[in-house]
Amino acid sequence: MAGEGKLHIVMFPWLAFGHMIPNLELAKLLAHKGHLVSFVSTPRNIDRLPKLPQNLATLIKFVKLTLPKVEKLPENAEATSDIPYDAVQYLKEACDGLQQPLTQFLQSSHADWILYDFAPYWAGAIASKLGIKSVFYSIFNAPTLGFLGPVPVLKGDKQVRTKPIDCTVSPDWVPFPSTVAWKLFEITRVFDAFSENNSGVSDMFRFGASVENCDIVAVRSCSEFEPEWLQVLENIYRKPVFPVGQLPSMEYDVGDENDDEWRRIKNWLDKHEKGAVVYVAFGSEAKPRQNEVSQIALGLEQSELPFFWVLRIRRGPTDPEVLELPEGFEERTRERGVVWTSWAPQLKILGHDSVGGFLTHSGWTSVVEAIQNEKPLVLLTFLAEQGLNARFLEEKKMGYSIPRDDQDGSFTSDSVADSLKLVMLKEEGGVYREKIKEMKDLFVNKDRQERYVDNLLAYMEAKKNRPCRV
C-alpha cells in the first residue's frame, strides 16, 4: 500500500517493448513524485526490461503474471518481438488469458488506479467492479487516436471503414484540413487490425472498448504540439483526456553487460566527422521485406555516406524468413558502413556527434529520441500507426518520407540515396535539420514534462476514494 497521501498505481502495458518502455518512462516520473507503481507484465518481459535507477527501486515493483499457453504461440514467446507478425494474434489471445490473474492481483493490491493499454481492453471493466479507477494510457499520439475515431467506429457499431481505401482519407470527425491518413500500401499491410482474429476480437475493437471502459484517457502528447488533435479526442471520447508529455527516454542503468558492445560501436563512430553518419534502425517490431532490405542496402551504398545500420534479420526464432543483404554489399561498404544484427543502444548512438541523420520507421519513441538529440528524420514506414506518424511529421516539416508507390509501397535505391543526401547534406533539406532543433525544447523540456505529470496526478489524487464510474 502506498504511503499516506500517496497513490498506488498499477500499470499494464501491451506485451511489446515499444509499449513497455514508454510505460516504464511514465512509471519513473510517477515514482519520482513518491507514488508507488506496480508494473505488470510477464516474467520474461520483466527480466528483459532495463534496470531501474537505484533511487526508484523501492517505488516501482514489478509484478510477474505467467502467460497462459496458447496453441500456435511458440514456447517462451512473451513479446511481439519474439514472433513473426502473423503470430501476434496468438499473443493477444494469451494476453486475454491474464484476466483472472490480474483480477486476483488487483483484489489484494489496494490499488487506487490502473493505467492499461489497448490490448488488455478488459482491464478497465475489471477495475471498475473492484472499485479501482482506470486510465486508458495510449502510447500512440493524439493524431493517431484522433484519426482512428470514436468508440462506435472502433467497435464496429458504426460501419465507416469497410475496405482499405476508406482509411486513406481524413475522416469527417476531424474538422480541419489534414493529410494524416494511411497510404494504400500501409493500410493494406495492417488492415487485419479491423477484422476479428484468433483472439476473437479485432484490434480496433480493443481500442474502442479501452476508451469505453476507462474513467479518463492519457495520451503521449503535449498540448503545445498538437492542440487541435487533443480537442478532437475530447470531442469524440466525451471524457477527460490528459496529455502526459512526450516522455523522452532517460538513460537506464543497464549494468556492464553491454559495455563491450557500446565500446565497439563508439570506437567506430569516433572515427567519423561530426554529422557524417546516417543511423538506420526500424525498432523492435518492424521488419522490412527482403526486396525492401535490398533497396535500402543499395541506397546506402549509392549515397556514399557512412552508415550504422541496426538490422533485425528475423522476428524471433520461429520466423521462417531470414533477411539477407545483397551479394557483396558488406565487402563493398566495409570501409564506411556497419550492419549490426543484435541489440544496440539507440539513445547513445543518436547522442553521438558523428550521427547526422536517422533513417527510421516513424515509431514515436524513435522520433522522440531523434528530436532529443537533434537528428533530422528520413522516414520509411512498415507497420501499424507508422504511416499516420509519418504524415503528421511531414505536415510539421519534421521529417521527409522516402518517395514510394502509394499502391504497393515499392521504392528504389535511388530514392533512398537521394532522400538521405537531401535531409543530411543539401541546402533544400535544411528545413528538416532546423525544424528538429526548433522542436527539441517542446519535446524534452523537463519543467513542461513535470507539469503534465503533475496535472494528471492532481486529477488522480482528487478522485481518490471517490465512487468509481458506473
Q: What is the pLDDT of residue 456?
A: 97
Question: Residue 142 in contact with residue 232, Cβ under 8 Å?
Answer: yes
Query: Given pLDDT bands bounded at 50, 70 and 90, which one contains residue 251?
Result: low
What's the rounded Cα separation, in Å, for the pair 274 and 258? 24
Q: Rounded CA gap, 249 and 360, in Å?
A: 17
Q: What's this model's pTM, rounded to 2 decimal places?
A: 0.93
pLDDT at site 464: 79
pLDDT at residue 285, as a whole number: 82
pLDDT of 254 > 60? The answer is no
The per-residue pLDDT of the chain, averaged, comes to 94
For residue range 274-304, list pLDDT tens digits in order: 999 999 999 888 889 999 999 999 999 999 9
Which residue carries 493524431 as its cell? 143
What pLDDT, on a 0 to 100 scale, did the predictor assign at position 4? Answer: 58
Give CA separation, 346 vs 195, 254, 349, 350, 391, in Å.
34, 13, 5, 6, 24
Tally Cβ neighbours within 10 Å of residue 204. 20
Note the pLDDT tens digit of each residue in 427-470. Answer: 999 999 999 999 999 999 999 999 999 999 999 999 875 544 43
Domains of the chain and CATH, by start: 8-250+445-463 (3.40.50.2000), 259-443 (3.40.50.2000)
pLDDT band at 259 (very low <50, low <70, confident <90, very high): confident
| Beta carbons within 8 Å of 446's beta carbon, 6+ residues apart | none
CB 264 within 8 A of CB 342: no
Are residues 102 and 41 in contact, defined by beta-carbon separation less than 8 angstroms? Answer: no
Helix (H, G, I), strand (E, B) or coil at 387: helix
Q: Is residue 459 within 8 Å of residue 240, measured between CB atoms?
A: yes
Q: How confident is the model at residue 316 (pLDDT cuts 50, 70, 90)?
A: confident
What residue has cell string 563493398?
332
What amino acid occupies position 254? Answer: V
Q: Which residues, 6 or more positions from 213, have their beta carbon under 8 angstroms from its beta carbon?
A: 121, 122, 123, 124, 125, 128, 134, 136
pLDDT at position 253 is 41
Per the listing, cell 489496494 goes with: 110
Q: In the chain, what percentage of residues exceed pLDDT 90? A: 90
How many helices (H) and strands (E) are present in the chain, helices listed first? 19, 13
List, for residues 447-458, the tens digit of each pLDDT value: 999 999 999 999
Strand order across the beta sheet in which 337-340 lies: 337-340, 307-310, 277-281, 355-360, 377-379, 399-401
pLDDT, mean of residues 195-202: 92
Question: What percentage of the chain exceeds 70 in pLDDT?
Answer: 96
Q: What is the pLDDT of residue 465?
A: 58
Do 219 and 173 form a contact (C-beta atoms < 8 A)? Answer: no
Strand segments, DSSP code E, in 42-119 are 60-64, 113-116
Q: For position 255, what pLDDT does the model report?
A: 44
Range with lowest mean pLDDT among 255-264, 359-368, 383-392, 423-432: 255-264
pLDDT tens digit sequence for 228-249: 999 999 999 999 999 999 999 8
Q: In this model, does residue 88 exceed pLDDT 80?
A: yes
Residue 41: what pLDDT? 98
pLDDT in tens, 165-195: 999 999 999 999 999 999 999 999 999 999 9
